Chains A and B, each alone.
Chain A
Amino acid sequence: MTILGLMITFMKFGLLCFGGGYMIIPMLLHTFVEEEKILTLSSYGNLISLAQITPGPVSINAATYVGFLSNGIWGGIFASIGLILPGFFLAYMTVRFLQKGQGTFVVNGLLTSMRISAVAMVLYACLIFMQLSVFSAEIPWKEIFNLFVLKDFNFKGFYLKPFETVICILSFLIVYYTKFSITHLLFVMAFVGAIYGAFL
């Protein structure tokens, strides 16, 4: 694949990512593991877990790595640029549209509904982040249902991780009650976590 072809492929991915970058994971698998064969399935799995633990947007990380494997350094850079281009133009035009139409019935109704769903989405994101860090496994909805209906339950393997829970509550209190900068807090907590990891 040429660099231009690579960039166009990633622009297509960017256009198809509805609801966030995670959508790119199956698309990359199809194109680069099954069609282009520049990666094996197991190294693709490692690549995705690496993209999730390195800082920054997961899909940019994955795109850069795949682009690098395909066409070297410039491949990595142009794959990422291609990925963000469609979203960039569409988001810019939407913001401009909302700014121009302020006060009209169409835009105000849209904004009202967007704020309602935004709060639901933030609450949902809280839940997702708790599953990723504080809880040891996904929340067992079926078991919770059983608890109320059948009075018979089994929460095997589902518990609060003590270290993560303490960090989570501490961060909440610090940010809620003081003006401590979040980026500095993340840095401090990373340091605490590294010490904890070293002694474990």
Chain B
Amino acid sequence: MNLTYPKKLFLLFITFFQIALFVVGGGLAMLPVIEQKFVRKYKILSQNDLLDMISLTQMVPGLIAVNSAVYVGTKIAGVWGALIAAVAVILPSIVIILLIALFFRDLSSTNPIVMGAFSAVRACITGVFFVTFMRLQKNVLISPIIILAVFVLFVLLVLGLNPVIVILGGLPIGYIYFYMVQKKVFPDLLKGKQ
């Protein structure tokens, strides 16, 4: 979809503002909303872009939420896009926390209505995250070697290894696989099944 530059900036701001306002849990929890908005609705990112974003945001130091915003912003609208997306993603948090800090000094209150709302939001994110997994794996799990590699990396994560180490450990697999792609042994993961 072709959008003008100011419209892209506005879209970035409004989307990341909404994400930060509604998505509890931060970081990776915002992935489904990014997928739905930028890949499905406006078609300005591909699913492969999203996969790159997931690894990249964890490899670079900093917060996953902000790094994702910078990634999407830069891809769509350059440096100004990155800046606007990053501001939009931290703005709601800062305002909400400052309001709480100013008016509710007692931090230990547990309101059942608020707790019910938050636990429903978390459950909803869990369900939505499975949809994102189903959509993203279609482009990647295209050969038995890759399925095995994903399974091994998944087990390493379950065993409690730091994601950064898991990504770095996956590097040799990627280079060997890509070398085989050039020799036309395997299908190219970078193109993926469309």
Which A residues contact B (CB, under 8 angstroms)?
14-21, 43, 46-47, 50-61, 64-65, 68-69, 73, 76-77, 80-81, 83-84, 86-88, 90-92, 94-96, 98, 105, 108-127, 129-130, 132-134, 141, 163-165, 167-173, 175-176, 179, 181-183, 185-187, 189-198, 200
Closest Cβ of chain A to B50, distance in Å, is 8
Using Cβ atoms and an 8 Å threshold, which residues of chain B touch A192? Answer: 120
The answer to whether B32 and A114 touch across the interface, beta carbons within 8 angstroms, is no
The answer to whether B127 and A175 touch across the interface, beta carbons within 8 angstroms, is yes
Using Cβ atoms and an 8 Å threshold, which residues of chain A touch B139? Answer: 115
B162 nearest in chain A by CB position: A19
Which B residues contact A (CB, under 8 angstroms)?
18-29, 31-33, 36, 40, 48, 51-52, 54-67, 70-71, 74-75, 79, 82, 86, 89-90, 92-94, 96-98, 100-102, 107-108, 112-134, 136-137, 139-141, 146, 149-151, 153-154, 157-158, 162-164, 166-167, 170-175, 177-179, 181, 189-190
Using Cβ atoms and an 8 Å threshold, which residues of chain B touch A175? Answer: 32, 36, 127-128, 131
Using Cβ atoms and an 8 Å threshold, which residues of chain B touch A64? Answer: 93-94, 97-98, 101
The answer to whether B67 and A129 touch across the interface, beta carbons within 8 angstroms, is no
The answer to whether A60 and B93 touch across the interface, beta carbons within 8 angstroms, is yes
The answer to whether B128 and A61 touch across the interface, beta carbons within 8 angstroms, is no
Query: What are the 4 tightest A-B residue pairs by CB atom distance, in nearest-first order?
Result: A87-B62, A197-B116, A113-B174, A193-B120
The one of A58, A76, A87, A96 in contact with B98, judged by C-beta atoms closer than 8 angstroms, is A76
Q: A118-B51, A126-B133 are in contact. Are A171 and B123 (CB under 8 A)?
A: yes
A46 nearest in chain B by CB position: B107
Given A56-B90, A116-B146, A189-B123, 17 more pairs with CB closer than 8 A: A14-B63, A17-B62, A53-B24, A55-B23, A57-B20, A60-B26, A65-B97, A91-B66, A91-B67, A111-B190, A113-B177, A120-B166, A133-B125, A167-B124, A168-B124, A175-B131, A176-B134
A194 nearest in chain B by CB position: B117
The answer to whether B19 and A183 touch across the interface, beta carbons within 8 angstroms, is yes
B72 nearest in chain A by CB position: A95
Using Cβ atoms and an 8 Å threshold, which residues of chain A touch B126? Answer: 126, 129-130, 132-134, 164, 168, 171
The answer to whether A57 and B36 touch across the interface, beta carbons within 8 angstroms, is no
The answer to whether B26 and A119 touch across the interface, beta carbons within 8 angstroms, is no
The answer to whether B93 and A127 touch across the interface, beta carbons within 8 angstroms, is no
Closest Cβ of chain B to A117, distance in Å, is 4
The answer to whether A197 and B113 touch across the interface, beta carbons within 8 angstroms, is yes
Using Cβ atoms and an 8 Å threshold, which residues of chain A touch B94? Answer: 60, 64, 76-77, 80
The answer to whether B61 and A17 touch across the interface, beta carbons within 8 angstroms, is yes
The answer to whether A186 and B125 touch across the interface, beta carbons within 8 angstroms, is yes
Closest Cβ of chain A to B87, distance in Å, is 9
Closest Cβ of chain B to A124, distance in Å, is 4
> For the complex, what is the distance from the CA of A172 to the CA of B97, rounded to whole Å?
30
